[in-house]
Amino acid sequence: MVDQLPKAIFFDWDGTLADSFSFIQSAHNHTLDILGLESRSSDWFRMYFGQSRDFIYRDIYAERAAEAQKCFEAFVVAHHTDLLEPLSGAGSLLQTAQELGVSLGVVSNKRSDFIAAEMKAFGWEMYFSSLVGA
């Protein structure tokens, strides 16, 4: 069966290897706080997770969308390497794939410099031979 292993596996990053839900919720709650608006629960935020950024900003922040985007992005830049967490079991999966000789890569619409920094923060940079990001 070992001869049936793939030569390579390409992963998405957020929601596949990195657990971005809590981090993104924290960024939005920080933004809401900065704008003097009420923080929201994870149950409330769940309906927005995976929606387009434009939709989220218009729906949550309305006429303050541009201001909110600046606050949100500043939080992300400042905290993406210290608050983002790996998904449970992802590190073990990557280690096993590497031990089996499978090449690994990431393809994402997230900025590649952010992913590279997050990989390093997780201690995973040695697992990946390629990274394609926005």
Tokens representing 12 are 């998405």
Contact 18, 89 (CB under 8 A): no
pTM for the whole structure? 0.86
**Within the chain, what is the greatest distance between any pair of CA atoms?**
59
What is the DSSP annotation of 51-110? S-HHHHIIIIIGGGHHHHHHHHHHHHHHHHHHH-EEPTTHHHHHHHHHHTT-EEEEE-SS
pLDDT tens-digit series, residues 65-98? 999 999 999 999 999 999 999 999 999 999 999 9
Tokens representing 46 are 């769940």
How far from chain centre, in Å, is Cα 121? 13
pLDDT tens-digit series, residues 42-54? 898 899 988 888 8
